[in-house]
Amino acid sequence: MSDIRWKTFWLGFSVLVVALIIWAMSSLITALIFLCVSLLAFIGKHLYWLYQLQTWLKSPNLNALPDGSGAWAIVFSALFQHHRQNIRTEAELGAALDGFQQATNALPDGIVVLNHRDEIEWCNPPAELLLGLDLNKDANQPIQNFVRYAQFIQYLQSKNYKEPVTVKSIRNRETTLQIQLITFGTAQKLLICRDISAQEKIDTMRRDFIANVSHELRTPLTVVGGFLETLIDTEGAVTDSTKNYFDLMISQTGRMRLIIEDLLTLSRIESNNEVPSITAINMSTLLKMILNDANGLSNGKHNITLNVEESLDIKGNREELLSAFTNLVSNAVRYTPANGKISIDWQLKNHQAVFSVTDSGIGIEEQYIARLTERFYRVDNGRSRETGGTGLGLAIVKHILTRHKAKLEIKSTLGKGSTFSIIFPQSRTIGYASKEVA
């Protein structure tokens, strides 16, 4: 720019000097005429290049850019550099975008970019295929108009996108889709859609296999157990020296029966994500029943207390929740030495209904806690078997809770005791008033 200023300054200065010389050598009028003509020529030249610039800007082509003269040569040269740089940057961005689109197109998962109003901004071909979208027609339309699964709409409105949602494809009933939303930027969302039919098939085969094997084993085991009991009850059939063996066989068949029952329960719960028959549960009555059972199991060896917030009830499947609560209470009894304390609590904490069982038992080391809900995971195999455990109790609890959208929280200190809490979402809570039960 400083070049332009100097050039203009020198031009003006030269015209002025020449005008002064003309004035000195001729007359003032001639000098003024010279000045006017120079000014007109100056303005004319600028108008000419301005017109050239305007014409070029209508269809800016690098090869057609005028050269310009004087100060305009500098302007056009700067414009040339700038435009060339823009073309380069544009080409680089285009190549990057192409690469990104090729990569997303090659992904087996469907990807849809949604704006802050949940309208489709962009999607890749697998998303078009899996969700039946057509980017050319459906862009800028709300995603709910095309992905109309009730579970998805609920998921979208919930604003809680931690877990994906699974739906059966409307377009093909054989296909199961898993849809996950991820928020990014200011309020945009990325929708990732995956075909999980193959995985589902394997899971179903595994579940069916376990269910079938368990079912097939149940009858022969019942027969063996029955005969063993008959033998032991028959006079003279079992001698004193072999009675121990028979007792052991009876207790082991009993254990196997428990494992089979638990495996069948687990596969039944796993095979259906929906909770059957949800009703309002009278928790006070249910918990008193659980307390009675716990006292029976403990056989007076523990001090068991119940603390209930009366009228705080929940909606759920009574049978399943009873099984989950009983599991935690029976674990507390089994893993707490005689004279220990067990407290069963049903309270509202942070607007959420919480069932918790606190014991002064053996406790669990921190490192094992995360694995407790795995099937057949036991911290101490010997103790679990000794107390009649199958290693499947907490796995069943976890599945029941997932179906009820509740979560399990475990706090424990080795040698001091544990607290197992079931936290229900607000949506399952019915109402409450407070009352203590001894």
Q: How many residues touch ligand ADP (CB under 6 A)?
A: 21
Nearer to ligand ADP, 167 or 396 (CB): 396
Site for ligand ADP in 126-145 (CB under 6 A): none
Count CB neighbours of 297 within 10 A: 17
Nearer to ligand ADP, 225 or 391 (CB): 391
Nearer to ligand ADP, 345 or 359 (CB): 359
Backbone angles phi, psi at 10, to 5 degrees: -65, -35
Helix (H) or strand (E) holding 95: helix 71-106
Binding to ligand ADP by residue 261, rule CB under 6 A? no
Enumerate the β-bridge partners of residue 326. none
> Smallest gap, in angstroms, from Cβ of residue 328 to ligand ADP?
7
Q: What is the largest CA-CA distance in the chain?
A: 156
Nearer to ligand ADP, 66 or 340 (CB): 340
Burial group, residue 134, by CB count within 10 angstroms (0-12, 13-18, 19+): exposed
**What span, in angstroms and rounded, lies between the C-alpha atoms of 270 and 402?**
10
Are 325 and 342 a contacting pair, CB within 8 Å? Answer: no
Q: Specify the amino acid at residue 429.
A: T
The encoded tokens of residue 143 equal 């995603």
Site for ligand ADP in 397-436 (CB under 6 A): 418
**What span, in angstroms and rounded, lies between the C-alpha atoms of 302 and 314?**
28
Q: Return the SS3 of 391.
A: coil
| Candidate ranges 186-194, 215-223, 376-384, 423-431; the one touching ligand ADP (CB under 6 A) | 376-384
Nearer to ligand ADP, 104 or 384 (CB): 384
| Candidate ranges 174-182, 189-197, 318-326, 375-383; the one touching ligand ADP (CB under 6 A) | 375-383
Enumerate the β-bridge partners of residue 349. 352
> Smallest gap, in angstroms, from Cβ of residue 342 to ligand ADP?
9
Enumerate the β-bridge partners of residue 378. none
Q: Give strand ranges (E) for 276-386.
A: 279-281, 303-308, 314-316, 341-349, 352-359
> Smallest gap, in angstroms, from Cβ of residue 370 to ligand ADP?
11
**What span, in angstroms and rounded, lies between the C-alpha atoms of 130 and 167?**
12
Per-position x/- string for 378-397, each x denoting binding to ligand ADP as judged by CB under 6 A, each - no binding:
xxx---x----xxxxxxx--
> Smallest gap, in angstroms, from Cβ of residue 321 to ligand ADP?
16
Nearer to ligand ADP, 149 or 335 (CB): 335
Among 131, 353, 372, 408, binds ligand ADP (CB under 6 A): 372
The encoded tokens of residue 215 equal 């079912």
Nearer to ligand ADP, 253 or 390 (CB): 390
Nearer to ligand ADP, 71 or 329 (CB): 329
State the pairing for strand pair 120-123/110-114: antiparallel
| Candidate ranges 6-14, 28-36, 178-186, 371-379; the one touching ligand ADP (CB under 6 A) | 371-379
- Closest by CA position to 405, among listed 165, 147, 207: 165
Nearer to ligand ADP, 71 or 401 (CB): 401
| Candidate ranges 3-11, 54-62, 203-211, 372-380; the one touching ligand ADP (CB under 6 A) | 372-380
> Smallest gap, in angstroms, from Cβ of residue 379 to ligand ADP?
3
Nearer to ligand ADP, 228 or 362 (CB): 362
**What span, in angstroms and rounded, lies between the C-alpha atoms of 140 and 148?**
16
Site for ligand ADP in 299-358 (CB under 6 A): 331-332, 335
> Smallest gap, in angstroms, from Cβ of residue 436 to ligand ADP?
24
Nearer to ligand ADP, 113 or 408 (CB): 408
Among 71, 362, 400, 401, binds ligand ADP (CB under 6 A): 362
The encoded tokens of residue 381 equal 């195999």
Q: What angle do CA 245, 246, 247 make, to 5 degrees?
A: 90
> Smallest gap, in angstroms, from Cβ of residue 270 to ligand ADP?
15
CA-CA distances (angstroms) from residue 140 to 115, 130, 151, 323? 9, 19, 22, 49
By CB under 6 A, name the binding residues for ligand ADP.
331-332, 335, 359, 361-362, 364, 372, 377-380, 384, 389-395, 418
